[in-house]
Structure 1
Amino acid sequence: MAAIAAMVLGLFGSLLLRPLPALGKTMRVASTLLLVAVLGLIVLQLSRNDPRFSMAVPALGYPEQVVEGGETRVQMARDGHFWLEAEVNGHRANFMVDTGATLTAVSQTTAEAAGLEARSGGLPIMLRTANGTVSAQSASIDELRFGNVAARGLDAVIAPGLGDTNVIGMNLLSRLASVRIEQGELILVPNNPQPPLPPAE
């Protein structure tokens, strides 16, 4: 919407260049600045998904994303997927590990139980689900714990179209030193090995 508004503003500015040159130029400059701001926000959101370019901007609600802990092993379930029990801000929930998912996603139910709120000012993210394309809002998870791994400040999306399913995606997995499967077991190894995590209270 902001990009469309900026283009409309620029169009009106161009039409006003002859009758009202000062106003026309001002509107065109404002249009350009607004488009640059939208582009900057898009680049910032996309960069958060890549650990090589991830940026922490606390003033905009983008905390540093840290994944640490120790090796964690997950047995393959009967359905052929890898499921694990995690804690989202202290709330227990089951997650499916999905290397085909770009983002970690939580259901609306899990988000509400864990106290997750959509990030204000963020752009909506379009997700493809079994039920079609849905609009999701981005959020930050203070702490996501599973096995011996803890992720803090992790970006996630609140996806109402997922039903009750929660997904751990590549924005978390790519921050690990290695992700491999051996004899029906998923092995997750963080880049920053730490002593075993104490049990959650």
Structure 2
Amino acid sequence: MHKLAFLLFSLLFASLAAAQEVQLKALFGTSAMLEVDGQQRLLKSGQTSPEGVKLVEANAGFAVVRVGGRQQKLTLDAPVAARYAEASRAEVRLMPDSRGHYSTSAWVNGRRVNMMVDTGATSIAFNYPTARRLGLNLERAKPIRVSTASGIARAYRLTLDSVTIGGIKLHNVDATVHGGDFPEITLLGNSFLSRVEMQQQRGVLILRARN
């Protein structure tokens, strides 16, 4: 009996570890219809399919799935049938929006915020309301002046304890908080991007943790 149970466990583990093909078929509010290795699975946000594919988030515009430590945003216009295998390093795949921008959900000091990739930004950049919502301690931040399209503006420089995107988590990441409502969306700048590997494959931006 124990040998049979061990055999079944081994087969299950091998199945989950094998490469998988995942495709978005339909969106239903906070649920999504996925096709995993030819099998259709209707999942609610937070649920995981028998094949190990987790629906992280779904709404009327897109779905975010996680497989084997990798996370990817899928839309109905670009369902991106992708093959996943167990990753030796954490990896995040981002799809461009209609303007060619890459956006993702991130966790800053344990709190969630949307970010847009900006390779022209020296550091992660927040506007003041977002920084307050995230509970960032500006009293310990260093006041600085930054150049904007409207001229010289007041800002603050500080170090974030942690920034997590998908399975990638970095500690002690530099950030800038602007004094007003700019930028409208938090910018994922080079204080994070320079510490990961970046690659583009057929329009998909891949962020990969370094060893």
Class of the TM-score when normalised by the shorter of the 2 chains = 0.5 to 0.7
Unaligned residue ranges in structure 2 (runs of 5+): 1-88
CA RMSD of the aligned region, Å? 1.9
Distance in 2 of aligned mates of 1:181 and 1:128: 30
Cα distance, 1:163 vs. partner?
A: 4.3
CA separation in 2, counterparts of 1:81 and 1:93?
17
Match of 2:112 in 1: 92
With structure 1 as the length reference, what TM-score do the two structures score? 0.55
Residue 107 of structure 1 aligns with which residue? Answer: 127
AA aligned to 1:128 is: S
Superposed displacement of residue 95, structure 1: 0.6
Structure 1 position 155 matched with structure 2 position 195: no
For each residue in 1:88-139, what CA deviation from the matched residue of structure 2 results, as whole angstroms up to 9, or x when unmatched? 12222111111111111112122111111236473x3333334333221111
Counterpart in the other structure of 1:143: 162
Q: Are the equivalent residues in 2 in contact too, given 1:109–1:164 (CA < 8 A)?
A: no
Unaligned runs of 5+ in 1: 1-68, 193-201
SS at match of 1:141: strand
- The answer as to 2:186 corresponding to 1:181 is no
Number of residue pairs aligned between Structure 1 and Structure 2: 122
Separation in structure 2 between the aligned mates of residue 121 and residue 97 of structure 1, nearest angstrom:
23
In 2, the alpha carbon distance for the partners of 1:148 and 1:119 equals: 31
* Structure 1 residues 112 and 121, CA gap change in structure 2 (3 angstroms): closer
| Bigger radius of gyration | 1
Deviation at 1:147, TM superposition (A): 1.5
Moved over 4 A (4+): none
Hey, what's the Cα distance between the residues in 1 that align with 2:152 and 2:100?
25
CA contact (8 A) 1:91 1:113 kept: no
Q: Is the 8 A contact 1:141 1:156 kept in 2?
A: yes
- Equivalences for residues 29-178 of structure 1 within 5 A: 70-118=90-138, 120=140, 122=142, 124-161=143-180, 162-176=182-196, 178=197
Instruction: Give the SS at the match of 2:138.
Output: coil
The residue type equivalent to 2:164 in the other structure is: R
Match of 1:30 in 2: none
Alignment CA distance shift 1:142-1:129 (3 Å): same
